[in-house]
Amino acid sequence: MSRTLVVVGNGMVGHRLVEAVRAADVAGDWHVVVLAEEARPAYDRVGLSSYVDSWDAGALVLPGADHATDERVELRLGDPASAVDTERKVVTTASGAEQPYDALVLATGSRPFVPPVPGHDLPGCFVYRTIDDLDAIHAAARRARDGHGRASGIVVGGGLLGLEAAKALRDMDLSPHVVEMAPRLMPLQIDDGGGALLARLVTELDVTVHTATSTAEIVRDGNRLVARLGNGTDLDADLVVFSAGIRPRDDLARSCGLEIAERGGVLVDEQCRTGTADVYAIGECAAVQGTTYGLVAPGYAMAEAVAAQLTSGHPATFPGADTSTKLKLLGVDVASFGDAHAETEGALEVVVNDAVAGTYKKLVVSDDGTTLLGGVLVGDTGEFNTLRTLVGRALPDDPAAILSPDGAAGGGVGVDALPDEAQVCSCNAVTKGAITSAVHEGGCESVSGLKACTGAGTGCGSCVPLLSKLLDSCGVEQSTAVCEHFPQSRSELFEIVAGTGIATFSELIARYGSGNGCAICKPAVASILASLGTEHILDGEHATLQDTNDRHLANMQRNGTYSVVPRVPGGEITPEKLIAIGEIAREFDLYTKITGGQRIDMFGATVDELPRIWRRLVDAGFESGHAYGKALRTVKSCVGWTWCRYGVQDSVGMAVELELRYRGLRSPHKLKAAVSGCARECAEAQSKDFGVIATERGWNLYVGGNGGALPRHADLLASDVDSETLVRLIDRFVMFYIRTADRLQRTARWLEEMDGGLEHLRSVIVDDSLGICAELEAAMHEHVANYVDEWNAVLSDPDKLARFTSFVNAPEAPDPTISFRTERAQKVPVLLGTPEVSRS
């Protein structure tokens, strides 16, 4: 008979516990009951600020959080625990239900700390903790903007959560003020020098910072609020957000007589056990031997320890916490690790503060300068992973040399300097020794193999570059071959094709490869030929190399139909063209959807309909949007200074210019770009392969960003450049990427894996250190001069048109396998078990 585990709390740590128990409980000994306060499944609270980007709560839900297919997990949403009877071993919920337990785990998390400021409970005052909190803030911000245009908000607290809240307010088009009682921002993580630089960088991003002062009082002033600061300043605002830290939620534990730590939190031992039998506490509500942790990684470690005890019956201890942090706050990279404040007796500080470059780096070392104790990095956190693993160990070089631009941390503190017990992956507590053992004894010879074998790199992913370096240090030669038919890497094949003038796959494989090729090398070579040549991708043998989407110049959908995406440069479109798209979609009965890249996608076209749809679009002035290709997709834009009162440059004009310049450019992977007209970043330029943000003096260029499964903020490559210089730098960047990247490698991973990283890229692209910039620019000029719309080229060629038939022997016959159903007044593909609507 199974036992009952009751988990009180359904946050990230509680969810991790349930996952760990279910993964280890092979025999099915435990039935798990989760009592959740919120009415939604567990979600990523760490990524709460990203909710502002889409206002899609579903995007934050953790995988498997609804437990819909797990019969041994009972999730009760919106019915939190209200009392615990440890004698009877029963939990009472808010609805009055009683739930017996054999084991009880408290994962109640924490609550926002609201200072006892007079007026803190006035309408317009909020906390920043949950999705519901953000929804309430959003509604208030919208009312404020509707009421008088430019609105402002005050964030009380300048720590991690406070700066997250400030970013959220800024993304809601409010002007944020941050009030911090300490003399610097992020006082728990960084020092005065790092805080000063952070304040300067944040201020440049339209956030006003007030440090070394408190919020003395909040009063109403008509429909607005006034925050009176301790330094005598009065701040007018439309709303106030308290984000001044957290406190453990230990109320339930107190009420049932569990022991509470001196500073709050449920007191537990190193096995996360309370003083009461079969009752555990984990996460932010727990005080492990008196210490609470406000980070998710220690909570995960506690969850794993408790899960191991419950499923194995053997003791398992909380291994301690790595409280290092690496974050991007308001676009500024910040990291701290170890003894960041030099609190160790005799500790020395070595600092490099480069105000021009906007970077601050500090190492805290032992009194003899040989052992690393901790550090702070602001503006550039590239060395974080390596330095963090060296804490408590001997430094391989003089600390000043390590911090110098060409010093060890920039590339010389290699993985060989790390001891076997150094933790490479803090998310899953994987050491260097475990990884090298997996290589030497487990036969792992790739990063993906190490991920599967050790779990390293499967959390936040920040340690993945170190995994590759560890493979190299273990003597594993990682093949760069495109596939078994070509021993060369993609970049080597690019140079071969460029240098020899080879124009076909058959000639290339005959001279430099072997066999007949495969589904890996054929599309890769097709992309190279398209990048360097002027022939249409469906000319001659080129057509046989293409993936399905490229072969049909459209994206195949789940039911065998295709979608058609015309280009809309910069998202700017005339009413006449909007009407044309609508008429075409109506004529061919296509499902329409506005994409995230500011275009209109039309779904449900059969292959034989594609040319007729293209003809209508071409006649209306459209061309292919290359949504099907590894090529430039879109250059997204805000409305810029033409309409927006905050805009400082013509973002739409620049976006249109860039999209028309790079349209049709084939590359190792898809390219996405954006142009924002001011620092408010409405076009989300810092999540693109290349992004442009307007400044008062010109443009800032960011590169190497992307969204998707492993999002990455772009890095600042150049600041305040004029339009001509901007275009020239993008020409160089894109062509250098096309020339050197691996097959299907996005710019984000390309930049991360580049030796020397951003600094090397800057030296090549901006300083022309390799002397190739003229060549890169010439290649781009050739592309621009020879651009031809691929749809129009098909329409004028009968041989190419002949490819677009559903059935060779019956070109006009509809495909009987395609059927649709109606959903929200549009047709969509039939799913299993849904009623059909005949295609014909």
Q: How far apart are CA 167 and CA 178, in angstroms?
A: 10
Q: Are 721 and 699 in contact (CB under 8 A)?
A: yes
- Going by C-beta distance under 8 Å and a sequence separation of 6 or more, which residues neighbour residue 546? 523, 526, 537, 538
Angle 251-252-257 from CA coordinates, rounded to 5°: 95
Q: How far apart are CA 116 and CA 214, in angstroms?
A: 11
**Token pair of 81 as six digits:** 């625990």
Q: How far apart are CA 112 and CA 118, in angstroms?
A: 17
Angle 237-240-246 from CA coordinates, rounded to 5°: 160
DSSP E strands: which ranges in 133-254? 151-156, 174-180, 208-211, 215-221, 224-229, 234-237, 239-242, 246-248
Indicate the DSSP class of residue 260. Answer: B
Asked whether residue 272 is marked as a ligand-binding residue, the answer is no
Mapping DSSP to helix (H, G, I), strand (E, B) and coil, where does residue 245 land? Answer: coil
Q: How far apart are CA 321 and CA 475, in angstroms?
A: 32
**Token pair of 812 as six digits:** 């006009």
Mapping DSSP to helix (H, G, I), strand (E, B) and coil, where does residue 603 land? Answer: strand
Indicate the DSSP class of residue 49. Answer: G
Q: How far apart are CA 470 and CA 638, in angstroms?
A: 43
- Going by C-beta distance under 8 Å and a sequence separation of 6 or more, which residues neighbour residue 492? 480
Q: Are 733 and 717 in contact (CB under 8 A)?
A: yes
Q: How far apart are CA 737 and CA 59, in angstroms?
A: 31
Q: How far apart are CA 339 and CA 808, in angstroms?
A: 72
CA nearest to 64, candidates 38, 45, 36, 42: 42
HSE value, Cβ hemisphere, 13 Å, CA-based, for 126: 27
Output the CA–CA distances (angstroms, integers) from residue 302 to 36, 468, 598, in the order listed.
19, 29, 44
Q: How far apart are CA 494 and CA 14, in angstroms?
A: 50
CA nearest to 421, candidates 413, 411, 429: 429
Beta bridge partners of 423: 431
Is the dihedral angle over the CA atoms 642, 646, 651, 652 positive or is it negative?
Answer: negative
Asked whether residue 682 is marked as a ligand-binding residue, the answer is yes
**Token pair of 615 as six digits:** 């003809």
Q: Which amino acid is at 241?
A: V
**Token pair of 622 as six digits:** 């459209």
**Token pair of 16 as six digits:** 């991790």
CA nearest to 153, candidates 239, 277, 93, 50: 239
Q: What phi and psi values does residue 656 have, to the nearest 5 degrees?
A: -60, -45
Query: Which residues are known binding-site members for siroheme?
Result: 682
Query: Which residues are known binding-site members?
Result: 638, 644, 678, 682
Query: Which residues are known binding-site members for [4Fe-4S] cluster?
Result: 638, 644, 678, 682
